[in-house]
């Protein structure tokens, strides 16, 4: 049995330095991401990835020990995307000035990452029903939740820490469930995202209304 992806530091066994090698690794990750959304973790294999990326399977083993390393590298990419979203659009001043716009930026930002990488929703929502994915999903969502916790602590100091933690945990679960609904038309997905914004905004408003002034 393969070891869980979180047992040790996973990722590329060596970092590509030449442009050709970097392009090959990018092709491998792109293929793995597409397949992850199609066949799930259990159906994913290095042979399938090699076939989709149009590279010899030996090329994969030059850079990755196994499929867990490839998935871990994908998760690192998603974490980088979340960090960029957080630094560019999700700051305390924005949350304090316009909560509705802040939440819209959060939801639209997550949807944008999802649109760029089909595997993102699988990992972020934990939709694979697999222990490895449960752990990866928690770690990925925690990346965002830690940032939001810092932002809300600064923007809304009247909100008790315990209430803030419970709210963000609920936000994480609600968002994970709602974005996991991939089998919808673009119009329906847009409406679902609008509903998600309303739910998150109402939740925050209710928490703030019940907090000491």
Give the residue from 16, 38, 131, 123 showing the smallest Cα distance to 78: 123
| 196, 174 contact by CB (below 8 A) | yes
Burial class (CB within 10 angstroms; exposed 0-12, middle 13-18, buried 19+) of 203: middle
pLDDT at 4 over 60: no
> pLDDT by residue (tens digit) across 192-205?
889 999 999 999 99
Tell me how far apart the alpha carbons of residues 64 and 97 are, in angstroms, rounded to a whole number: 45
What is the pLDDT, as a whole number, of residue 202?
A: 94
> pLDDT by residue (tens digit) across 5-55?
444 445 555 565 567 778 889 899 989 988 887 887 888 899 999 999 999
Portion of the chain with pLDDT greater than 70, in percent: 79
> pLDDT by residue (tens digit) across 139-192?
778 888 999 999 999 999 999 999 999 999 888 878 777 766 655 566 777 888
What is the pLDDT, as a whole number, of residue 3?
A: 41
| 170, 110 contact by CB (below 8 A) | no
**Mean pLDDT of the residues in the chain:** 82
| 1, 46 contact by CB (below 8 A) | no
Tell me how far apart the alpha carbons of residues 43 and 102 are, in angstroms, rounded to a whole number: 38
Query: What pLDDT band is residue 106 in, cutting at 50, 70 and 90?
Result: very high
What is the pLDDT, as a whole number, of residue 75?
A: 84
| 180, 121 contact by CB (below 8 A) | yes
Query: What pLDDT band is residue 96 in, cutting at 50, 70 and 90?
Result: very high
Across 70-83, average pLDDT: 87
Burial class (CB within 10 angstroms; exposed 0-12, middle 13-18, buried 19+) of 121: buried
Torsional sign, CA 46, 13, 86, 139: positive
Tell me how far apart the alpha carbons of residues 99 and 152 are, in angstroms, rounded to a whole number: 11
């Amino acid at each position: 049995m393969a070891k869980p992806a979180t047992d040790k530091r996973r990722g590329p066994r060596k970092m590509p330095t030449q442009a050709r090698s970097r392009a090959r690794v990018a092709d491998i990750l792109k293929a793995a991401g597409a397949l992850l959304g199609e066949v799930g973790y259990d159906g994913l294999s290095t042979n399938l990835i090699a076939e989709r990326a149009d590279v010899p399977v030996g090329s994969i083993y030059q850079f990755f020990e196994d499929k867990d390393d490839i998935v871990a590298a994908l998760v690192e990419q998603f974490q980088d995307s979340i960090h960029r979203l957080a630094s560019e659009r999700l700051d305390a001043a924005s949350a304090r000035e316009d909560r509705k716009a802040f939440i819209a930026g959060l939801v639209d930002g997550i949807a944008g990452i999802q649109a760029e990488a089909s595997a993102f929703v699988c990992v972020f929502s934990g939709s694979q029903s697999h222990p490895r994915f449960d752990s990866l999903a928690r770690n990925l969502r925690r990346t965002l939740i830690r940032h939001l916790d810092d932002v809300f602590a600064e923007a809304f100091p009247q909100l008790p820490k315990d209430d803030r933690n419970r709210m963000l945990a609920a936000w994480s679960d609600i968002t994970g469930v709602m974005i996991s609904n991939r089998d919808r038309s673009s119009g329906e997905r847009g409406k679902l995202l609008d509903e998600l914004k309303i739910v998150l905004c109402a939740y925050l408003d209710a928490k703030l209304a019940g907090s000491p002034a």
